[in-house]
Amino acid sequence: MSEEIVLETRDLVRRFGAVTAVDGLSLRIRRGDVYGFLGLNGSGKTTTLRCALDLLAPSAGEVRLFGVASAAGRRAARARIGAMVEAPAFFSHLSGRRNLALLAGLSGPLARNAIDEVLELVGLEAAADRRAGHYSLGMKQRLAIALALVGQPEFVILDEPTNGLDPNGILEMRRLIQRLNRERGVTFLVSSHLIHEIELVGTRVAIIDRGRLLLEEPMEGLAERLGAGYRLRARDLPGARKVLAALGARDLADGDGELRFGYEETALPDLHAELARAECGLLTLEARRRSLEELFLELAARDAGTLT
């Protein structure tokens, strides 16, 4: 994978009055990445993307698109990118096809079949000549994605691309991202609040919370973090808790009538034996995946720890 950076934010800050939506965020998206940008709703993802695309002026910090930091350079660089930010955006009195032709025309001349190709790609050929304002939510989302993809951009930014799509549409979207990345080398930045979505397509992931970067690493690292947990139910939960604490279980937490913890898989037989010896009345012990919320809490607690 090339080391060329297509988008970089350096200590990006965006404030809305007293609220700091993005707080010193530094991201680096390399050419060829499918960069998953994860965060709960309201964590600052969309604000970051808006700043990156000059829809919003940062309060502080720097944005570089294809290595260019000047406003004029970034504006010119937008001819090389496609983006869908927040809700689908287009002109509702024009047809889907006309929207594509006019808006893409602002980026430069289009290949003869570019519009038909992208309409087919998102499955909107049949409705292409209908007024976009009459589209369903899913169709609007598809049109917005088509707008981001038309003209063969090198870098595509998709903000919550599966919003409004049915399960089939979500699957198609995932395949489309993977195919364009693999076959055409298109770099993607995909924001989402759904960890599963990112896990399936991403090559690299960043997690933000309250505008701060909690984690940025290759996708394999995230998979390990998510899968390294267990849940235990027992008749004597306090007794089981003591055993787990004594054996050095990680991130031990009380759940809804259960204990959650991290543990080495190879040492599980010993754990079983100790629990039996302590007569805890073990009911179930199973591997569990942590939810994004739990990972956020853990990362946020760790982040707070480093601050204090």
Applying CB under 8 A, the site for other proteins has a residue count of 38
What six digits make up the tokens of 250? Answer: 């990680």
Residue 108 touching other proteins (CB under 8 A): yes
Q: What is the rounded distance in angstroms from the CA atom of residue 230 to the CA atom of residue 56?
A: 43
We find the least distance from the C-beta atom of residue 147 to other proteins, in angstroms, to be 7
We find the least distance from the C-beta atom of residue 78 to other proteins, in angstroms, to be 4
Which residue, 105 or 227, has its beta carbon nearer to other proteins? Answer: 105
Q: What is the rounded distance in angstroms from the CA atom of residue 178 to the CA atom of residue 176?
A: 5
- Residues 297/302/304/306 CA torsion (nearest 10 deg): -170
We find the least distance from the C-beta atom of residue 63 to other proteins, in angstroms, to be 14
Residue 90 touching other proteins (CB under 8 A): yes
Q: CB of 201 within 8 A of CB of 178?
A: yes
Interface with other proteins by CB under 8 A: which range of 17-25, 47-55, 223-231, 293-301?
47-55
Q: What is the rounded distance in angstroms from the CA atom of residue 173 to the CA atom of residue 167?
A: 10
Rg (CA), the chain: 23
We find the least distance from the C-beta atom of residue 81 to other proteins, in angstroms, to be 8
Task: Kindly report each contact of residues 177-180 with a partner whose C-beta sits within 8 Å and lies 24 or more positions away, as own/partner.
Answer: 177/34, 177/201, 178/34, 180/149, 180/156
Binding mask 124-163 for other proteins (x = CB under 8 A): -------x---------------x---xxxx---------
Residue 227 touching other proteins (CB under 8 A): no
Residue 75 touching other proteins (CB under 8 A): yes
Binding site for other proteins (CB under 8 A): 53-57, 75-80, 83, 85-94, 98-99, 102-109, 131, 147, 151-154
